[in-house]
Amino acid sequence: MAKEKQKPVLDKKVTWNKVFHYIGRYWFMVLASFILAAVTVALTLYVPILTGEAVDLMLGPGEVDLDGVFAIVIKIGIAMLVTAIAQWLMNTCNNHVCYHVVQDIRRDAFARLEILPLSYLDGHAAGDIVSRVIADVDTFADGLLMGFTQLFTGILTIGGTLVFMLIYNIPITLVVVCLTPVSFLVARFIATHTHDMFQEQSKTRGEQTALIDEMVGNQKIVRTFSREEEVKAQFGEINDRLQKCSLKAIFYSSLVNPCTRFVNSLVYAGVGIFGAFLAIRGGITVGRLSCFLSYANQYTKPFNEISGVVTELQNAFVCASRVFALIDQEPQVPEDADAVNLGTASGNVTLENVYFSYVPEKKLIQNFNLAVKPGQRVAIVGPTGCGKTTVINLLMRFYDVDSGTIRVDGNDIRHLTRGSLRTNYGMVLQETWLRGGTILDNIRMGKPDASEEEVKAAAKAAHAHGFIKRLPQGYHTVITEDGGSLSQGQKQLLCIARVMLCLPPMLILDEATSSIDTRTELKIQNAFAKMMEGRTSFIVAHRLSTIREADVILVMKDGNIIEQGNHDSLLAQNGFYTNLYNSQFAG
C-alpha cells in the first residue's frame, strides 16, 4: 500500500494559531494566571525595597533602629506569605489550562482517527500514529506547562524590575539595559538552530516507536523466521540515529543556560562596580545599592528561564505540529446530508463499470461488472494481488471507487449511510480481530443485547463451544486484544461465532477458515452452507475445495474478471480456473 503524500508537520505560524485556539477556550484561567503572576512579581519586587530600607536603618554600632527594622520584617513576612499563596493559585490555573488543552488535543486526534480514510491508516505505521497521540502530546504538555509557569512571571519580572530601577536610579539602570540584549541574541541564535534538530529527533522517535510496536505485535513471526538479529540491527541503526540527533539537540539547547548566566554575571558585576562608585560619592545609599543588586539578579534571572522555555517550546511545538498534522488530515468523504438508511437489504448487489486503484500510477480494478441476485453465493478466486480483497473493501465502502457505481438493492452505496450499509454485511476475515474483555463480550460485539444462551448457540454453530468450555472461566474468561493463549484457529472460530450470532442478510467470507484444521473446517462449511441459505454471500478463497458449491465463481487476474461460471462449467472451459484447480488437486 502506498503512503499518502502529506506534510508530516505544520509550519510554525499555523501551529501557533492552533495552540492559541486551544488555549483560548480557557481564557478566564489564562487571565487569572496573568493577574496572579502580576501580584507575585509586584510583591517579589517590593521585598528588595523593604530590604534596602532595613539596611539603611542599620547605619552602624548604636545607630540601629530596631523598631523600624522589626516593622519592615513583618511587612516582608506578609509579602512572602501572599506571594506563596498567589504562586500556588497561579500554578493551579496553569495546570488546569495545560492539561485541559492536552485533553482536548488528544480527544480531537482520536476523534479524527475514527473518521480518517482507511487509506491513511493503511499507509502509515501504527507506531508512528501512537507516538504522535501519546509521546508527542506529552512533550508538548511539558513545554506548555513550563511556558505558562515561567513565561508570564519572567516577562512581568523584567518589565517590573525595569520600572523600579528607572524610578530609583537611571544611570545604573542604563548599565543593566545596555548589557542585557546580549542574552537575547545568544538565546535567539541557539533557539533558531535547535528547531530543526528537535524536529529530526521527534521524527526519528516516531520511527523507533513504529518499529517497536510492529516487532512486539509480531514477535512470533520474527522468531519463526529467525529474524531476531536483523531486527536488532534495524533497531540499533534507528537508535543510533536517535542518539545522535538527540545529543545534538540537547547539547546545543543546553548551551543557552551557561551563556545567559555568563551575561547575567556581567550585568551583576557592572551594577556592583558602577553602584559602588556612586555610593562612595554619595549618589546612592548602601541600602539602595543592595536593592539594585537584588534587582540586577531578578532582572537577569528571567532571561535564563525564558531562554530555557524557548528551547523547550521549540521541542514542544515541533511535537505539536506533528499532532496537528494528524488532526488536519482530510477525513473520509462525509455522508450526503440526505443519505438513505438502507434498512434490511434483500441482497441485490451490482457493480457497474467500476475502476479503482490504490495508487493512480498502478492500475488495479478496471471496468469491473457484476450482478448478484439475492441469496446467491459468489466466490472470488485468483492469484495473490489480483484484487479479490479490494473488491471486498469496495463492497463495504472502506474505499470509494474511482469511477463507476456499486449498488445495493438499487441504491448507490455512496448515497447510503455507512452504518446501515455495513450493518447488512457480516464479515469473517483471514486476519482476526478481538478486543480486551471476556469471550462473551467478543462474540456479542455485533449484537450487544444478545442473551448468553444466544451466544452459546452461535458458538455451538461455529464449533467454538467445545474449546470455550475448557477455558478457566468458560465464556467469562478474559482475553487480551491479541487473544492471549488462544490459537489462531480458535480466534477465527470466535469471529465466525460473532457473525453467526448477528446473521446479517449479506455475508463476506475472506479466507474465513484458513487457520482451522480440516476436520473442523468441514463442519464449519456445513454450518456456513446453512447460514448462507437465502443470504447473498461473497466468498474469497484460495482453497478451491471450499467453493465448489458456489452459484457463481469469478476468476480474477490483474483486476479483471477473466472467467465466470459455476465449478463444473469453468472446469469444462479448460482455462485459467482449470489450471488453478489442477495445481491444487493434481494426481
Under a CB-based contact definition with an 8 Å cutoff, are residues 383 and 366 in contact? no
Q: Which of 159, 149, 182 is nearest to 312 (CA)?
A: 149
pLDDT score, position 88: 92
Which residues have a Cβ under 8 Å from the Cβ of 374 and sit 6 or more positions away?
346, 347, 348, 534, 536
Query: For residue 25, is pLDDT > 80?
Result: yes
Per-range mean pLDDT, top range of 46-50, 331-335, 397-401, 512-516: 397-401
Q: For 35-39, what is the mean pLDDT?
A: 88
Q: Given this model, what pLDDT does residue 5 score?
A: 43
* 198 vs 318: CA distance, rounded Å: 7
Please state which of the ranges 31-40, 146-155, 306-315, 350-359 shows the lowest mean pLDDT.
Answer: 306-315
Residues 280 and 63: their CA atoms lie apart, in Å, by 20
Domains of the chain, first to last? 12-205+247-327 (1.20.1560.10), 334-424+538-587 (3.40.50.300)
DSSP 446: G
C-alpha span between 357 and 362 (Å, rounded): 7
Instruction: Please determine, for residue 270, whether its predicted confidence score (pLDDT) is greater than 80.
Output: no
- CA triplet 466, 469, 473: central angle to 5 degrees? 155
Q: Using alpha carbons, list the distances in angstroms from residue 258 to 185, 428, 429.
A: 14, 62, 60
Summarised one tens digit per residue, pLDDT across range 535-574 is: 888 888 777 767 777 888 888 887 777 888 888 888 888 8
CA distance 195 to 49: 40
The C-alpha atoms of residue 416 and residue 342 are separated, in whole angstroms, by 6
- What would the grid cell of residue 38 be? 502580576
pLDDT at residue 3 is higher than 60? no
First to last CA, the chain: 38
pTM of the model: 0.65
Identify any residues that bridge with 403 across adjacent strands, giving them in sequence order. 355
**And the C-alpha cell for 377?**
453465493
pLDDT tens, position by position, 146-201: 777 777 787 788 788 778 777 777 777 777 777 766 766 776 677 666 767 777 88
Q: What is the distance between the alpha carbons of residues 12 and 314, in angstroms, rounded to a whole number?
A: 10
**Residue 82: pLDDT over 60:** yes
Which pLDDT does position 430 carry in this prediction?
75
Residue 303 in contact with residue 151, Cβ under 8 Å? no
The predicted structure's pLDDT at residue 11: 66
- pLDDT surpasses 90 at 214: no
Residue 426: CB atoms within 10 A of its CB come to: 23
Q: Which helix (H) or strand (E) holds 274?
A: helix 256-280
User: pLDDT tens-digit profile of 46-66?
Assistant: 887 787 777 777 765 556 677
Three-state secondary structure call for residue 586: coil
Stronger pLDDT, 210 or 514, i.e. the higher one: 210
Phi, psi of 169 (to 5 degrees): -160, 115
Contact at 8 Å (CB) between 563 and 534? no
- Per-residue pLDDT, averaged over 369-386, amounts to 84
CA 453 to chain centre: 39
Look at residue 575 and tell me whether its pLDDT is greater than 60.
yes
For range 13-23, the mean pLDDT: 84
Mean pLDDT of the chain: 80
Q: What is the pLDDT of residue 2?
A: 41
Under 8 Å between Cβ of 416 and 339? yes
Cell of 582: 489442477
CA distance 397 to 395: 5
Do 22 and 105 touch, CB atoms closer than 8 A?
A: yes
Confidence grade of residue 1 (pLDDT, cut at 50, 70, 90): very low
Nearest Cα residue to 162 out of 151, 175, 150: 175
263-267, 271-275, 305-309, 345-349 — most confident range: 345-349
3-state helix, strand, coil in the chain (%, to 5): 65, 10, 25
Other CB atoms within a 10 A radius of the CB of residue 1 amount to 11
